[in-house]
Amino acid sequence: MLEAAAARFGFKLDWHSFNWSCETYLASGAMMPSDGLNHLRSFDAIYLGAVGRPDVPDHISLWGLLIPIRRTFRQYVNLRPVRLLDGIETPLKNRKPADIDFTIVRENNEGEYSNIGGRIYEGTSEETVVQQTVFTRTGVDRVLRFAFNLARSRRKHLTSATKSNGIIHTMPFWDERFRILSAEYPDIRTDQYHIDILTAHFVRHPDWFDIVVGSNLFGDILSDLGPAVAGSIGMAPSANLNPEKEYPSMFEPVHGSAPDISGKGIANPIGQIWSGALMLRHLGAFAAADAVEDAIAKTLAESAVRTPDIGGSSSTNELGEAIAQRVRRPT
Ligand code: IPM
Ligand code: MN
């Protein structure tokens, strides 16, 4: 898809593939070589496929590859657009594409995803486990600022996901920084909801949202729920951004490796393809990015080619090929 876009718009993508995966782990004992991150450092962008395999523990496959990449390269924004596309059915009653069009800005480097903690008295009845959530002012402010700025380029409405009624140290701090920074963005309408009722509002009132900003865990949960109300997790893209471009950013679908359908050739390719469009935009290939997104939208709106998750019987390749043709020859 990306090659098709590059050919049409007259630029070249210089790909280097790294076979870092659960298979690599099973063969070598590591998801990537010990100097793997150094290999990645000099690239402009990283295009990642979903990682995970039932016979490899998740904490090994994810903390051995994805999470170190997000952190080492300060990809502190995880940007996850949610859109109901024409021709896709939402499980919500009477909702049209205009009702579901928002973007989740997930904090991607700290928060609840922390490796600070431990276990004592293991195996005894006093077994005790502690895991620390880490919120830094730098970390909170930079993701909030990104969200405020993004809201400026959209409908100027920013919602914050919180839980300051139950989590009494980190979440009031998050709210405080949100309030303080909002004074610098008087043109942005703000609101905030506790994460529990916010999930209900995603289902009942998806039209209330423009940009939604949340901590690492809350953003993670919202970014599966959002695409589910927009019709399929299989279509959701994401961009792990280092906005300053000091390090490479990484582009990957929101969905996991779906071992239940592995090898059947029926996975929805759109999450991966759309993530590629986000990557093209990050690289400055704006027209190519728009063309790929356009091709996705038109294929779904004007043809019956669909994978089973969105109500069709086409294969991954058939849907991919249908989109690629529109990238090559716009209609
Ligand atoms: C995601 C995924 C990851 C996350 C997992 C695989 C560690 O669910 O990108 O949303 O929680 O960040
Ligand atoms: Mn997730």
Least Cα distance to 6 among 319, 331, 316, 283 occurs for: 283
- For residue range 40-76, what is the model confidence (pLDDT) as tens digits? 999 999 999 999 999 999 999 999 999 999 999 999 9
The pLDDT score that the predictor gives to residue 330 is 76
The pLDDT score that the predictor gives to residue 74 is 98
Q: Which one-letter amino acid corresponds to residue 76? A: Y
Rounded-to-integer distance, Cα 74 and Cα 241, Å = 8
Per the annotation, the verdict on 101 as an active-site residue is no
Query: Which residue's CA is minimally distant from atom 10 of ligand 1?
Result: 220
Per the annotation, the verdict on 247 as an active-site residue is no
Long-range contacts of 182-187 (CB under 8 A, 24+ apart): 182/148, 182/158, 184/148, 185/148, 185/151, 185/152, 185/158, 187/152, 187/156
- The single residue of 44, 58, 96, 121 carrying the catalytic annotation is 121
Residue whose CB lies within 8 A of the most ligand 1 atoms, among 220, 255, 275, for a mutation test: 220
Contact 82, 207 (CB under 8 A): no
Task: Count Cβ atoms within 10 A of the Cβ of residue 230 and give its class: 0-12 exposed, 13-18 middle, 19 or more buried.
Answer: buried
Rounded-to-integer distance, Cα 98 and Cα 102, Å = 10
- The single residue of 44, 58, 86, 196 carrying the catalytic annotation is 196
Give the residue ranges of the chain where pLDDT is below 50.
none
Query: Which residue's CA is minimally distant from atom 8 of ligand 1?
Result: 220
- In short, whether 236's Cβ falls inside 6 Å of ligand 1 is no
Per the annotation, the verdict on 260 as an active-site residue is no
Least Cα distance to 172 among 140, 197, 203, 130 occurs for: 140
- In short, whether 107's Cβ falls inside 6 Å of ligand 1 is no
Per the annotation, the verdict on 220 as an active-site residue is yes
The pLDDT score that the predictor gives to residue 331 is 74
The pLDDT score that the predictor gives to residue 319 is 98
- In short, whether 62's Cβ falls inside 6 Å of ligand 1 is yes
Rounded-to-integer distance, Cα 61 and Cα 158, Å = 34
Contact 8, 328 (CB under 8 A): yes
Residue whose CB lies within 8 A of the most ligand 1 atoms, among 66, 110, 241, 251, for a mutation test: 66
Task: Count Cβ atoms within 10 A of the Cβ of residue 207 and give its class: 0-12 exposed, 13-18 middle, 19 or more buried.
Answer: middle
